[in-house]
Amino acid sequence: MSAAAPDPLLSVRDIAVQFGGIKALDGISFDMKQGQILGLIGPNGAGKTTLFNCLSRLYTPSSGDILFKGSTLLDRPAHRIAEAGIGRTFQNLATFKNLTVRDNIRIGAHSASSSDMASDALRLPWVGRNEARIDEIVDELIDYLEIGAVADMPVAGLPFGTLKRVELARALASQPTLLLLDEPAGGLNHDEITELGERIKKIRDERNVTVLLVEHHMNLVMAISDVVVVLNFGRKISEGTPEAVQADPEVIRAYLGDAA
Amino acid sequence: MTVQQEEVSAVEARQEQQARSVSAATISSLVVLAALVLCPFFISGFQTFQLNLMLIYAIAIMGLNLLTGFNGQFSLGHGAFYAIGAYTAAILIDTFGVSYVWTLPAAGVICFVSGFLFGLPALRLEGVYLALATFALAVATPQMLKLSILEHWTGGVQGIVIRKPKAPFDLPLSQDQWLYFFTLFVGLLLYWAARNMVKSRSGRAIMAIRDNPLAARSMGVNVALYKSLTFGVSALFTGIAGALGAIVIQFVAPDSFTFVLSVALLVGLVVGGVGWLPGAIVGGAFIVFVPNIAEEISKGLSGAMYGLMLILLIYVMPTGAGGLIRTVTDRLTRR
Ligand SMILES: Nc1ncnc2c1ncn2[C@@H]1O[C@H](COP(=O)(O)OP(=O)(O)O)[C@@H](O)[C@H]1O
Ligand SMILES: [Mg+2]
């Protein structure tokens, strides 16, 4: 599978997004190789979530292009991004709150399965097979992310950390090649963050998933990323290995300026 | 106990509780079904007719529930689809001599198409704006039905009178009883289909849109398509109810389908429980029987009585019959 995929897996080329007068993204370019974990960091408001929303086609950049497996994502509507092989989680949880954990994850498998309303309503024979396949994917993920104890509970009312795992399971249910994680460590405690880092690496290694990680938690990003891209005010100010980026005076200035 | 043991026993307790409430649900549905089947043999023809209307409204409410309860789209105009279904049946029987049985699929198809087409522009509208647009549909419907260019088919203000069908195969059933069982059969079939849909991939997609449209889109759900399709399916249910209504009442006229009907369906939905399919029966019963009860309490103030009963009901069960039943079974099974 990895042999057939063209290199780079993802290529962001000079994209720009404006909101009114604000340039949320201003000519961002970078590439991602298959199997990488790329950490995307930057102070609040730097444009990280906006970039994610371009990749999942919730926003359309005003210029530039995004290539995934060699072809542009810009002629795909948002609902055909999952089937292209890109899964995501959201910075502020975006679960389906009236549904159970299991159903949330099942919806993650929407693009990995097919059916239509009429066949579903009449329970035609292939519907059962389709549902069984979805359940196979879902059961495996419930085990993998250790959320069996809450699987049949409604999502509303579950603890934040659990919901983050539910979202991760939901994103993996589409069986993505590229996983976009928007601040997965937000709201987690120290031990949970260490566990999360291990889990992300495990997902990359065992499931052959490339990971684009937006995170505020520097230790986590530096510990697991192969490459780090730094944004500030919608511009890319640095790119390189974690060590190189940490030593970059431009990055230090951006962060110290932010803290001051 | 270790954490893992605790988790395992929690899972077991939960599964046990689920198994208990599943069997409770099965038993109560069987009891309700048995009551519905036996009732007509113990009550008068008129009461059977009323019970039939209850089922018919229940079907219409089920359709509205798919749209509003499961997909989160408001409709104050489902009376329009009910009217289209009713007129489809009446015109097919009266002008074209079609058997009443075949008017149901015809009404279903026509209403599906109308609902789907109405759903397309409605995609741009949400919440109160969608409520307003559907309200306009409800208000316009009786006037459209009175239009003189359509009079040849619709009978204008006079409407259309149709004949009541007899029980086939020499079944020992009165006309009222036969039609009641006919409606019950259609209703069960539609309930089965709605339940299948809700418990499958497309049903989950519909609910995902209700809960979080952006996340649904990112999971690969074609939000626009599913919303319009749901509008169509919802109209299909309500339209079939309308066709049954025309056959059972043997009469359609524009003023039977005013805005009041749309509101009644919405009230029935809320009373039965938004997002809970079996609640439709309770909602149907409310539409048919509560105005009569209100009238019996006070002739002059029946409207106020109706309002009072509605307020009391919503106060006692703010989430409808569905919510009440869920709370009660939760208490009973979680011992
Ligand atoms: N939908 C929007 N409308 C207007 N401005 C937005 C919108 N989304 C983001 N922005 C602005 O774009 C900039 C980048 O935001 P965001 O991508 O959320 O940053 P980050 O995720 O890096 O914290 C901010 O100035 C933010 O206020
Ligand atoms: Mg952000």
Tell me how far apart the alpha carbons of residues A214 and A181 are, in angstroms, rounded to a whole number: 6
A50 lines ligand 1 (CB under 6 A): yes
Instruction: Give the residue from B5, B201, B212, B237 with the most A CB atoms within 10 Å of its CB, the best one to mutate.
Output: B201
Domain spans of chain A, in order of start = 7-85+176-260, 95-175
Give A136-179 pLDDT, tens digit per residue: 999 999 999 999 999 999 999 899 889 999 999 999 999 999 99
User: What pLDDT score does A2 carry?
Assistant: 46
Higher pLDDT among residues A208 and B20, named by residue:
A208
Contacts of A30 (CB under 8 A, 6+ apart): A12, A38, A229, A236, A239
A42 lines ligand 1 (CB under 6 A): yes
Task: Indicate the average pLDDT of chain B.
Answer: 86
Q: CA angle, A11 as apex, A10 and A16 as ends, to 5°?
A: 125
Closest CA to A165 of A147, A177, A180, A148: A147
Sheet with strand A178-182: strands edge to edge: A86-88, A178-182, A210-214, A37-41, A227-232, A235-240
Question: How does residue B164 score in pLDDT terms, banded at 50, 70 and 90?
Answer: confident
Which residues in chain A are contacts of B212 at CB distance < 8 A? 94-97
Question: What confidence score (pLDDT) does residue B28 get?
Answer: 83
pLDDT in tens, A32-57: 999 999 999 998 889 999 999 999 99
Tokens (6 digits) for B277:
């399919």
Structure confidence at residue A230 (pLDDT): 93
pLDDT band at B1 (very low <50, low <70, confident <90, very high): very low
**Helix H segments across chain B?**
3-38, 45-65, 78-94, 100-122, 127-146, 151-154, 175-198, 201-211, 213-218, 223-249, 259-272, 279-297, 302-316, 320-333
Q: What is the pLDDT of residue B23?
A: 79
Q: Residue B6 pLDDT > 70, yes or no?
A: no
pLDDT of the residue at B39: 85
A44 lines ligand 1 (CB under 6 A): yes
Query: In one letter, which amino acid is A250?
Result: E
| pLDDT reading at B170 higher than 80 | no
pLDDT tens digits for B310-333? Answer: 888 878 777 778 888 877 777 776
Instruction: Supply the pTM of this predicted model.
Output: 0.89
What percent of chain A lies above the pLDDT cut of 90?
77
CATH number corresponding to A7-85+176-260: 3.40.50.300
Backbone CA torsion sign across A155, A161, A162, A165: positive
Higher local confidence (pLDDT), B12 or A133: A133
> Looking at residue B194, what is its pLDDT?
96
Judged against a pLDDT cut of 90, whether residue B142 lies above it is answered with: no
The confidence score (pLDDT) of residue B174 equals 84
Question: Is the CB of A131 less than 8 angstroms away from the CB of B218?
Answer: no
Assess contact for A25 and A54: CB atoms under 8 A.
yes
Note the pLDDT of residue A260.
Answer: 41
Q: What was the pLDDT predicted at A1?
A: 45
Give me the pLDDT at residue A228, please.
Answer: 94
Does A55 sit in the ligand 1 pocket, CB within 6 Å? Answer: no
What would the mean pLDDT of B129-157 be, rounded to a whole number?
A: 81
Q: Return the ligand 1 atom nearest residue A44 CA.
A: 23
Reported as a pLDDT band with limits 50, 70 and 90, residue B130 is confident
CB-based burial of residue A159 (10 Å sphere; 0-12 exposed, 13-18 middle, 19+ buried)?
A: exposed
* Closest ligand 1 atom to A42 CA: 22
pLDDT, mean of residues B32-45: 87
Convert the pLDDT of each residue in A79-91 to its tens digit.
Answer: 999 999 999 999 8
CB contact under 8 A, B220 and A97: no
What's the pLDDT at B13? 63
Q: Considering chain A, what is the average pLDDT of its residues?
A: 91
**Residue B205: HSE in the Cβ half-sphere, 13 Å Cα cutoff:** 28
Over the stretch B222-234, which tens digit does the pLDDT of each residue have?
999 999 999 999 9
Structure confidence at residue B153 (pLDDT) = 78
Pair of tokens at residue A21: 């007068």
First to last CA, chain A: 47
Q: What are the angstrom distances between the C-alpha of A71 and each of A7, A9, A177, A194, B311? A: 12, 10, 15, 36, 59
DSSP letter string, B300-322? TTHHHHHHHHHHHHHHH-TTHHH
